[in-house]
């Protein structure tokens, strides 16, 4: 059955967060003559992502939008690098906006435009509505609406994020296809009854990437570019 809606993981699946964050970090480091590898900085910033969300998933903390978690993680990271005093409040806030300036993968915009002709397309990301809106404007992602963590007030892979997204469209899980470059995301979506599509993004974590090079489950579709979704 063709899906009525395709919902997408965004960081890594639709946009190249690592290149985008490193590029923004590099601008700041150049400006301040800080000798630090921007890609390493991006990786370590992203490394704090899952633990920060885990505190919310486990119920140890109420829902807080990812923008704020990114900022808390940035503050931690700058302290670890002993760079805290080199950035004032406005600069930290501006650097945190690196997460809004993420380049789409080369096939994303054209692929989404194509899929949009015959189905609803929306992000089902851990990013907030504000963040998803700005990433879409930056990269020209033509979403029909924005679903995901904020409407569920929890984080993937918790089932309510997929189910709240499906409900918000007035559809049943089997009418919706989750598209992701991460096998664990698809595993969680499949458990909720959604269709699944895997797209490999083999350089999301750079040349040395070890995970998610191949589909590890029996997904409904395995595609090379978003425009091949059916």
Q: Could you tell me the CA-to-CA distances from 90 to 5, 44, 85, 212 in Å, in that order?
A: 39, 22, 13, 37
Q: Among residues 19, 73, 128, 154, which is the contact residue for a second copy, using CB under 8 A?
A: 128
- Written as six digits, the tokens of 161 are 């994020």
Q: How far is the CB of 98 from a second copy (least distance, A)?
A: 15
The β-bridge partners of 122 are 7
Stretch that binds a second copy, among 16-24, 78-86, 87-95, 145-153 (CB under 8 A): 145-153
Q: Yes or no: say if 71 and 94 are a contact pair by the CB < 8 Å rule.
A: no
CB of 2 to a second copy, least distance (A): 16
- 145 contacts a second copy (rule: CB under 8 A): yes
* Contacts for 164 with CB less than 8 Å, ≥ 6 apart: 147, 151, 152
CB of 170 to a second copy, least distance (A): 4
> Beta partners for 104?
15
User: What spatial distance separates the first Cα and last Cα of the chain, rounded to whole Å?
Assistant: 10
Sole binder of a second copy in the list 168, 181, 186, 229 (CB under 8 A): 168
* 10 lines the binding site for a second copy (CB under 8 A): no
Q: Is 1 exposed, middle or buried (0-12, 13-18, 19+ CB in 10 A)?
A: exposed
74 touching a second copy, by CB under 8 A: no
Give residues 107-126 in contact with a second copy (rule: CB under 8 A). 120, 122
169-188 binders of a second copy (CB under 8 A)? 169-171
Size of the site for a second copy (CB under 8 A): 23
Residue of 147, 180, 189, 199 that binds a second copy (CB under 8 A) = 147
> Residue 132, interface with a second copy (CB under 8 A)?
yes
**Torsion angle (degrees, nearest 10) of CA 17, 86, 36, 48:** -40
What are 140's two structure tokens? Answer: 């020209």
Pick the binder of a second copy from 43, 67, 76, 160 (CB under 8 A). 67
Burial status of residue 31 (CB atoms within 10 A of its CB: 0-12, 13-18, 19 or more):
exposed
List phi, psi (to 5°) of 5: -145, 145
When the beta carbons of 121 and 189 are compared against a second copy, the nearer one is 121
**Six-digit token string for 51:** 């633990």
Considering only the stretches 19-27, 71-79, 135-143, 211-219, report the one whose residues sit in contact with a second copy under the rule CB under 8 A. 135-143
Stretch that binds a second copy, among 25-33, 88-96, 127-135, 192-200 (CB under 8 A): 127-135
Contact positions vs a second copy (CB under 8 A): 65, 67, 120, 122, 128-133, 136-137, 143-147, 150-151, 168-171
């Amino acid at each position: 059955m063709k899906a009525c809606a395709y919902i997408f993981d965004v960081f890594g699946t639709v946009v190249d967060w690592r290149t985008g964050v490193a590029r923004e970090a590099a601008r700041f480091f150049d400006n301040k003559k800080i000798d630090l590898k921007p890609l390493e900085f991006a990786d370590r910033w992203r490394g704090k992502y899952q633990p920060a969300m885990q505190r919310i998933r486990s119920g140890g903390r109420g829902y807080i939008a990812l923008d704020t978690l990114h900022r808390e993680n940035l503050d931690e990271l700058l302290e670890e690098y002993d760079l805290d005093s080199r950035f004032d409040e406005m600069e930290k806030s501006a650097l945190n906006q690196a997460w809004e300036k993420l380049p789409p993968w080369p096939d994303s915009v054209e692929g989404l435009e194509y899929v949009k002709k015959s189905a609803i397309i929306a992000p089902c990301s851990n990013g907030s509505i504000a963040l998803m809106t700005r990433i879409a404007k930056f990269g020209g992602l033509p979403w029909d609406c924005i679903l995901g963590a904020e409407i569920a007030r929890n984080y993937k892979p918790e089932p309510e994020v997929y189910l709240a997204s499906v409900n918000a469209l007035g559809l049943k899980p089997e009418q919706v296809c989750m598209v992701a470059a991460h096998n664990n995301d698809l595993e969680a979506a499949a458990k909720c009854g959604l269709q699944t599509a895997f797209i490999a993004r083999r350089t999301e974590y750079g040349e040395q990437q070890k995970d998610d090079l191949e589909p590890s489950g029996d997904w409904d579709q395995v595609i090379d570019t978003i425009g091949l979704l059916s």
